[in-house]
């Protein structure tokens, strides 16, 4: 009677992470909320669902998932880290400043520009992060 074929489990097994019930709960919660969540928020929601998951486990799981590249970690929230389930490849984020919706942006043809800017300062660019703030379709 599961509503979906549990692709979430594979997200774990695919990375060699044992799919324990608690980890799946965390993952489900992340999937439920497409946007980014703090560890504390996520824990709160689990409690509302009467999950006995401990806060430490939430942190441990999120760290593990981040390490394995299953979730993105965003630091745009002051002292608190935000986690977000996301696609595999290179991508950036579009964040709505009003409702905080986050959309993944796959397109990234900045390669040339980056190399250009970097070399102009004697650098070799190896990585980059772009975060675009704005208003989403519903909020503008």
Partner DNA sequence: CTTCCTGCAAAGCATTTGCATCCAT
Partner DNA sequence: ATGGATGCAAATGCTTTGCAGGAAG
Contacts with its own copies by CB under 8 A lie at: 75-76, 78-79, 81, 94, 96-97, 103, 105, 107, 109-110, 113-114, 117-118, 120-137, 140
* Number of residues assigned to the chain: 140
How far is it, in rounded angstroms, from Cα 25 to Cα 77? Answer: 24
20 binds, among DNA, its own copies, none (CB under 5 to 8 A by kind): DNA
Binding-residue pattern over the window 71 to 90 for DNA, x denoting contact by CB under 7 A: --------xxx---------
Alpha carbon dihedral 10, 15, 19, 23, in 10-degree steps, equals: -110
Select 63 or 110, whichever has its Cβ closest to DNA: 63
| Rounded alpha-carbon distances, angstroms, from residue 17 to 58, 68, 69, 88 | 15, 9, 12, 16
| Binding stretches for DNA (CB under 7 A) | 17-18, 20-23, 38-40, 52-57, 59-61, 63, 79-81
């Amino acid at each position: 009677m599961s509503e979906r074929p549990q692709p979430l489990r594979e997200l774990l097994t695919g990375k060699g992470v044992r799919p324990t019930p608690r980890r799946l709960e965390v993952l489900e919660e992340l999937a439920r909320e497409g946007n980014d969540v703090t560890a504390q928020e996520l824990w709160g929601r689990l409690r509302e669902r009467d999950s006995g998951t401990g806060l430490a486990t939430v942190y441990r799981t999120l760290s593990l998932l981040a390490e394995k590249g299953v979730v993105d970690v965003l630091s745009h929230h002051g002292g608190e880290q935000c986690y977000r389930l996301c696609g595999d490849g290179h991508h950036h984020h579009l964040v709505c400043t009003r409702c905080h919706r986050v959309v993944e942006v796959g397109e990234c043809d900045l390669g040339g520009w980056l190399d250009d800017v970097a070399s102009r300062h004697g650098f070799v660019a190896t990585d980059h992060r772009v975060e675009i703030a704005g208003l989403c379709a519903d909020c503008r």
